A = this chain, B = another copy of it.
Amino acid sequence: MPRAGARSARPGPVGRGSPVRRTSRDIRTANRYQVLRQIIAASPTSRQELAAATGLSLATVATLVGELLDLGMITEVGFEDSAGGRPRGLVAVNAPGGALIGVDLAETYVRVELFDLALNVLARAEEDVRPGESRPEQVVGHVATAVGSVVARAGVEGARVLGAGVSMPGQVDRDTGVCAYAPNWDWHDVPLLDLLAGHIAHPLYLDNPLRACAVAELWFGAARGHGDAVVVNLGTGVGAGLVLGGAVHRGVSDSAGEWGHTTLVLDGRPCHCGDRGCVEAYTGAPGIMLNLRELSPDSPLLRADDQTATIDALARGVRAGDPVAVKVLERTARCLGAGVAGLVNLFNPEVVVLSSWVAAAFGEPLLDGVRAAVARHALRRPLAATRIVLSPIPTDPVCLGAATFALEGALQSAGKGAERRAVGNRR
């Protein structure tokens, strides 16, 4: 059973919890991530190109490429002529060499996507989670149904599924798989991983949407190739996934990234966290609705309590030049920009990515407003070093990121297997 191994595996590269955990195996795992990431980005490619792109030595790249070939994750695809020299062997990602499942377990729905190794979506399923259906067994039942459905629809054998990553909005202990607290469903200390494992036979990896979006940007989006990046999630909640030194930063109790509850306006608006004046209270979807309500209490753009409909109406209004919608966007971008400037000053990152559905809905006008506000608020030197961009990921970044946790987990376990084999051979 792969589950037992997977549940205690920490897919994150180069353990960041404590300096004592950093080992040469972590380095090898991180290098393996980097090489596969580059092959997925630029197939077909040569070992020489990979060495140039990653900064690793040609010998190291050759070893890692050999491992990935053995795992069936990549494949040899012929040769290219090199001017005057020997023809160079080319490798490419072996898309059908395995399947990955990404589960976006959200407040009101479960979305599941099944990917091939090139991270193309092969099948998709969605289940509603209705109010009153939020007991752990019920939610897990929805996940199991949707996972079974995508595996059947994609027509892949179960054995080809390398793992399933599950993102859920709550406090999750990645080591024990216990959800300590999920405010929306009032879960306390739910052994979620054990419950899921009762229905799903694939290796399972549990994490939260903040980090799913960050790892998706790190592998496939705007943070690829960058050591230090901040992925700002704008949805109902607001957070910042931190990529530091090329890996997702988790914090000592797996709860880093709760940027939405940074004080922006001391003694300002009440926030649902119990505090006042938090960034989220001005820039999360409910905060943006309140920005609208304060400006124009009877605005036809307001869709009662429907966040998605109101944000969509506002975004359309901005594009049509509706002055109220434009004002709401300005106010929102100004608050967000003041907050993001703080992240730029603090981390001095290479890139700040605006991600999640609210950022996608507003698009360029929000980006322009945020860039202008950050330029007013940030210090010159870190500002000059930072690009601020919209997430370029075209699909659900949470599903993609969850599937990436499964991919990282498979690469990490593969390393352990290779070491065991190496030890065995020496005997």
Q: How far is the CA of A261 from the CA of B377 in the complex (A)?
A: 8
Type the 1/0 row for A325-350, where 1 means its CB is closer than 8 Å to any CB of B.
00000000001001101100111111
A23: chain B residues within 8 A (beta carbon): 27
- CB-based contact B263/A377 at 8 Å: yes
Q: Does A55 contact B (CB under 8 A)?
A: yes
A228: chain B residues within 8 A (beta carbon): 16-17, 249, 251-252
Q: List 7 A-B contacts (CB under 8 A).
A: A17-B227, A18-B246, A22-B246, A24-B24, A250-B348, A251-B385, A256-B347
Q: How far is the CA of A4 from the CA of B347 in the complex (A)?
A: 29
Q: Does A94 contact B (CB under 8 A)?
A: no
- CB-based contact A14/B245 at 8 Å: yes
Q: Does A144 contact B (CB under 8 A)?
A: no
Q: Does A56 contact B (CB under 8 A)?
A: yes
- CB-based contact A180/B34 at 8 Å: no
A19-B245 contact, Cβ under 8 Å, with A180-B381, A346-B240, A376-B275: yes
A54-B338 contact, Cβ under 8 Å, with A245-B245, A256-B348: no
A56: chain B residues within 8 A (beta carbon): 20
Which of A21, A24, A240, A253 lies at the interface centre, i.e. has the most chain B CB atoms within 10 A of its CB? A253
Q: How far is the CA of A250 from the CA of B405 in the complex (A)?
A: 27
A349-B27 contact, Cβ under 8 Å, with A273-B379, A339-B263: no
Interchain residue pairs A-B with the least CB separation, the first 5: A251-B348, A19-B246, A20-B55, A262-B342, A18-B227
Within 8 A of B (CB), among A214-269: 226-228, 240, 242, 244-247, 249-259, 261-266, 268
Q: Does A309 contact B (CB under 8 A)?
A: no
Which of A21, A262, A378, A385 lies at the interface centre, i.e. has the most chain B CB atoms within 10 A of its CB? A262
Q: Does A45 contact B (CB under 8 A)?
A: no
- CB-based contact B350/A252 at 8 Å: yes
A275: chain B residues within 8 A (beta carbon): 341, 376-377
Q: Does A302 contact B (CB under 8 A)?
A: no
Per assembly, the copies of the chain total 2
A171-B381 contact, Cβ under 8 Å, with A275-B376, A345-B261, A376-B275: yes
A378: chain B residues within 8 A (beta carbon): 261
Q: Does A398 contact B (CB under 8 A)?
A: no
A34: chain B residues within 8 A (beta carbon): 19-20
Q: Does A360 contact B (CB under 8 A)?
A: no
Partner of A266, one of B54, B250, B265, B376: B265
A346-B258 contact, Cβ under 8 Å, with A228-B16, A264-B266: yes
- CB-based contact A258/B349 at 8 Å: no
A418: chain B residues within 8 A (beta carbon): none
Q: How far is the CA of A135 from the CA of B253 in the complex (A)?
A: 48
Q: How far is the CA of A27 from the CA of B16 in the complex (A)?
A: 13
- CB-based contact B54/A341 at 8 Å: no
A335-B55 contact, Cβ under 8 Å, with A19-B246, A255-B348, A381-B255: no
A382-B27 contact, Cβ under 8 Å, with A19-B245, A345-B262: no
* Closest chain B residue to A240, Cβ basis: B346
> A260 → chain B, closest Cβ, in Å?
8
Q: How far is the CA of A240 from the CA of B259 in the complex (A)?
A: 16
> A340 → chain B, closest Cβ, in Å?
10
> A181 → chain B, closest Cβ, in Å?
7
A227-B338 contact, Cβ under 8 Å, with A22-B245, A27-B27: no
